[in-house]
Structure formats: structure tokens, C-alpha cells
């Protein structure tokens, strides 16, 4: 992946974040589980042409490629060279030759209209700068009758993020995180507005108990890019305010501790729709 992409500052930060994470991204079972569920719900069949938006280390692309067989084709796009390098390594190790990886911004793809039977986006929709416009763009790339599927988290998901939103609000800072796709209704409306029909949303309860220490480590203090928001809204706070905010964040988390630990909700919406046939 020696090519370069001309990205704006927001997207370059995301690309850099994930390029750093590339080598360790596949550790743990959480991302693979979500990617697998999305593919499973999509019921991909032999011979289909599949676009994996923000393919990362290729989890969705690889599983789809194994289902579509030799007559099918998967294209995985991502802005992070580090993530794509991992995907390439895994694809070569598996000897799969029906996947193409493309370094590209998913909001500005150059594929001809009506290129794909299925478009999937796992764990990445909220990174798009304009989620609604991205869905309209992908609608054009689907064949009539084609399936779109994305996964999104409920706005109750991730205790660290929810707590950070709560305390930041007190300082006049509004953090979006999962809010744009945070309810079944919002996911439904996003697809409907982009022109999709036969919308189906499967909500799955996920999550686990974590320790107070693990929850405290979810504090980012504006050091990571904020999905859909640039510059990061916490950058407007002084270092003194950030220190106070972190202390309030930790105090809020301490209140949530139970005998089992702190419940870290990860309610997930698997959202599907079809492009109308005419």
C-alpha cells in the first residue's frame, strides 16, 4: 500500500489512528463477532459482487469472499494503509483471489453506478463526515434490488463515552459519538431518507461487566478524533477544565460500580435496506 490519499485533516487523523492500531486490531473477539454477525445477517450468496466499506483488516471482506466463491468479487475500501496492509497479509495467507483492496475514501468512491449486489459497513458508519450523504452515495453504487447493511451502536453503548458525554455537557461541549445512529428510529430514517426500502433492523444486546479501572481508561480527553466532529469539541476546553472534567468523569464512573463491576452496554443495531428495483 504505497499509494497516498489526499485526505482532509479530520480523515487523516482517523487514517493515522487506525494505521497505528492495525497490528493489534484483530486481538480480542469483539470486532470479529460484530463483523461476522453483519455478514451472517446479509445472507450473501455465490457469485455476488460485494463492497466492504471501511474494510479495515478485512474481516467482512474475507468472510464475504469465502461465501461468494470464484464467480463473485469483493472490493474492500479503506483510508488507512496500516489496516489495509493487515488485510492484504490475511488475504494472501488464505490464498483468496476474489478480493480487491482499494485505498480510498468511502465518501468519494469512483466505481460506476450499479456495480454491487451488496454493500456492507461494519463498525465505521459514524466515522463518515456526512453519514446521510455517504448512504446516498452508496445507494448509487448498488444495483437495483441490492442490499445495504451497516452496523451501529445504540446511544447507550460504551459507558466511557456516555459518561464523557454527560460530564462534557456541563462545560457546554456536545459530543456526538453514536448519537447519529443511536436508536432504531434514527437508523431507519437514515436508510429511508437515502432512498432504501424494505428496511430491517435487528437489535442485539451485547456488553459485559468491566472494572472501574478499565472504565477509567476509556477517557480520551480529546486526544482521539471524535466521530463526525472536527475539530474535536473538547479542544475548546483549557487544560485546567480538562483536568476537572476527567475528575468528574471518574467520580461518575465510581457511582456505577456494582458487585459485578460496571456494566458496559454495547447494544448493537444490524441495519439493512434494499435499493428499490425501479
Radius of gyration of the CA atoms of the chain, in A: 19
The binder of ligand SAM chosen from 10, 11, 99, 180 (CB under 6 A): 11
Question: CA-CA distance, 33 to 7, in Å (whole number)?
Answer: 30
- What is the smallest separation between the CB atom of 123 and ligand SAM, expressed in angstroms? 4
> Contact region for ligand SAM (CB under 6 A) — 119-127, 194-202, 254-262, 264-272?
119-127
Q: How many chain residues are in contact with ligand SAM, going by CB under 6 A?
A: 24
Q: Which is nearer to ligand SAM, 83 or 237 (CB)?
A: 83
Question: CA-CA distance, 193 to 188, in Å (whole number)?
Answer: 9
Signed CA dihedral, 227, 229, 235, 236: sign only: negative
Residues from 78 through 117 that contact ligand SAM (CB under 6 A): 78-80, 83, 105-107
Q: Which is nearer to ligand SAM, 56 or 273 (CB)?
A: 56
Residue 74 touches ligand SAM, criterion: CB under 6 A: no
Please name every residue paired with 209 in a beta bridge, in sequence order, or none if there are none.
263
- What is the smallest separation between the CB atom of 261 and ligand SAM, expressed in angstroms? 24
- What is the smallest separation between the CB atom of 6 and ligand SAM, expressed in angstroms? 13
Q: How far is CA 75 from CA 18, 26, 38, 54, 100, in A?
A: 19, 20, 16, 10, 5
Residue 59 touches ligand SAM, criterion: CB under 6 A: yes
Q: Which is nearer to ligand SAM, 64 or 83 (CB)?
A: 83
Q: Which is nearer to ligand SAM, 142 or 245 (CB)?
A: 142
The binder of ligand SAM chosen from 68, 91, 124, 141 (CB under 6 A): 124
Cell readout for 97 is 483471489
Nearest residue to 68 (alpha-carbon basis) of 117, 139, 123, 31: 117
Please name every residue paired with 150 in a beta bridge, in sequence order, or none if there are none.
121, 271
Q: Which is nearer to ligand SAM, 115 or 241 (CB)?
A: 115
Q: Which is nearer to ligand SAM, 48 or 86 (CB)?
A: 86
Query: Within its chain, how far is the Cα of 14 from the centroid?
Result: 12
Cell readout for 129 is 463526515
- What is the smallest separation between the CB atom of 242 and ligand SAM, expressed in angstroms? 25
Residue 60 touches ligand SAM, criterion: CB under 6 A: yes
Nearest residue to 274 (alpha-carbon basis) of 186, 218, 200, 212: 200
Residues from 18 through 57 that contact ligand SAM (CB under 6 A): 18, 31, 35, 54-56
Cell readout for 257 is 460500580
What spatial distance separates the first Cα and last Cα of the chain, rounded to whole Å? 39
Residues found near ligand SAM in the complex (CB under 6 A): 11, 14-15, 18, 31, 35, 54-56, 59-60, 77-80, 83, 105-107, 122-124, 127-128
Amino acid at each position: 500500500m504505497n499509494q497516498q490519499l489526499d485526505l482532509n485533516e479530520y480523515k487523516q487523523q482517523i487514517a493515522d489512528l487506525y494505521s497505528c492500531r492495525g497490528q493489534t486490531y484483530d486481538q480480542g473477539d469483539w470486532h470479529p463477532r460484530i463483523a461476522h454477525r453483519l455478514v451472517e445477517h446479509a445472507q450473501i450468496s455465490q457469485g455476488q459482487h460485494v463492497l466492504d466499506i471501511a474494510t479495515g483488516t478485512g474481516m467482512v471482506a474475507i468472510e464475504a469472499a469465502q461465501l461468494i466463491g470464484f464467480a463473485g468479487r469483493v472490493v474492500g475500501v479503506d483510508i488507512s494503509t496500516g489496516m489495509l496492509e493487515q488485510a492484504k497479509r490475511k488475504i494472501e495467507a488464505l490464498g483468496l483471489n476474489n478480493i480487491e483492496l482499494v485505498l480510498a475514501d468511502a465518501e468519494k468512491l469512483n466505481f460506476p453506478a450499479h456495480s454491487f449486489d451488496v454493500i456492507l459497513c461494519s463498525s465505521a458508519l459514524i466515522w463518515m463526515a456526512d453519514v446521510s450523504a455517504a448512504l446516498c452515495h452508496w445507494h448509487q453504487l448498488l444495483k437495483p434490488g441490492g442490499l445495504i447493511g451497516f452496523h451501529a451502536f445504540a446511544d447507550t453503548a460504551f459507558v466511557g463515552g456516555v459518561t464523557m458525554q454527560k460530564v462534557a455537557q456541563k462545560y457546554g461541549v456536545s459530543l456526538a459519538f453514536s448519537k447519529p445512529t443511536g436508536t432504531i428510529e434514527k437508523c431507519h430514517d437514515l436508510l429511508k431518507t437515502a432512498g432504501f426500502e424494505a428496511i430491517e433492523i435487528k437489535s442485539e444486546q451485547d456488553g459485559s461487566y468491566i472494572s472501574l479501572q478499565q472504565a477509567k481508561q476509556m477517557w480520551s480527553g480529546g486526544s482521539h478524533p471524535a466521530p463526525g466532529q472536527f475539530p474535536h469539541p473538547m479542544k475548546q476546553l483549557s487544560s485546567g477544565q480538562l483536568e476537572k472534567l476527567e475528575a468528574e468523569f471518574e467520580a461518575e464512573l465510581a457511582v456505577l460500580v456494582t458487585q459485578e463491576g460496571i456494566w458496559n452496554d454495547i447494544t448493537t443495531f444490524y441495519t439493512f435496506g434494499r435499493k428499490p428495483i425501479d
